[in-house]
Amino acid sequence: MKIAIIQSDIVWCDEAANIAAAEQAVAEHPGAELYLLPEMWSTGFVIEAQSVAPAEQESEALAWMCRTARSRGCALAGTLAVRVGDSYLNRHYFVTPEGVLAHYDKRHLFRLGGEGKRFSAGSDRVVVEWRGVRFLLQTCYDMRFPVFSRNRLLDGRAEYDVALYLANFPAERMGAWQSLAAARAIENQCYVVAVNRTGEDVYTRYSGGSLLIDAEGEVVARCGEEPAVLVCDLDVERLSEYRRRFPTLRDGDDFLLNR
């Protein structure tokens, strides 16, 4: 599967500008089956949810994702701040030509930044299958919590093939970024696709470093610090062969999540 990682410099609270930038990135890199956007790609990581989170059905950014998936015959994933009922959510959308295939509400809210004071945490893990590839939907801070991402064998098959982390991960913690991504790939025998932003917001600086890591913890492809679109391939057949040769998932522990 050909994927395109869109590492953008998100314009603070300017949805129109960010949609236009995403539109240009997709148009300049046609042919990918899946386009990946960072966390809160349309606004930046804004804690004051009520100022940037429209009702889900009124989200212009989500409408653009659906239009683009339909017109280009591809899938897109990205997180958006939305309001559902009385709750504000950091919601990770996986959109296909048929519409929203799945969504995942960020479970681990970033306490240090006050995210949990404004947003409601999700509870359910979400795995979505697109064109024969199974994706675990995850968001930024989730990367630090391995129990939640634990891959399992279900009817003899790994629950997922790719752990997809969409993030706003600050420059000061980039050492942890690659180490954590590699650990999640190795322990779960999966690809990890980690999509970060670049630039600055009112809180901090971001240095990109979006990457694709294989199940052995090797970096297959990586962005630098500037805005970029990284086009690369997920070789699921190679992943399956590696799992057959080195079947560590068969010996994994079962964990129960405290909800």
Q: Catalytic amino acids?
A: 39, 106, 140
The three-state secondary structure class of 196 is coil
**If the chain, 259 residues long, is cut into consecutive pieces of 10 residues, what is the mean pLDDT of each piece?**
98 98 98 98 94 95 98 98 97 98 97 92 96 98 96 94 98 96 98 98 96 98 98 97 96 73
Alpha-carbon distance values, 167 to 44, 104, 138, 197, 198 (Å): 10, 14, 9, 7, 10
Q: Is residue 240 part of a domain?
A: yes
Q: Is residue 259 part of a domain?
A: no
Q: Is residue 39 part of a domain?
A: yes
Straight-line distance from the first to the last Cα atom of the chain, in angstroms, rounded to the nearest whole number: 34
**Domain encompassing residue 208:** 2-248
Which residues lie below 8 Å from residue 122, measured CB to CB, with a gap of 6+? 89, 104, 105, 106, 107
Question: CB burial class (10 A; 0-12, 13-18, 19+) of residue 221?
Answer: middle
Q: Is residue 139 part of a domain?
A: yes
Give the model confidence (pLDDT) of 102-134 as tens digits: 999 999 999 988 899 999 999 999 999 999 999
Alpha-carbon distance values, 195 to 56, 120, 154, 250 (Å): 23, 23, 27, 29
The three-state secondary structure class of 213 is strand
Q: Is residue 213 part of a domain?
A: yes
Q: Which residue has the tokens 């799992």?
A: 243
For the entire predicted model, the pTM comes to 0.96
Task: Count how many domains the chain has.
Answer: 1
CATH of residue 192 = 3.60.110.10
Q: Is residue 82 part of a domain?
A: yes
Q: For residues 176 and 179, give the distance between their C-alpha atoms in angstroms, rounded to a whole number.
A: 5
Q: Is residue 70 part of a domain?
A: yes
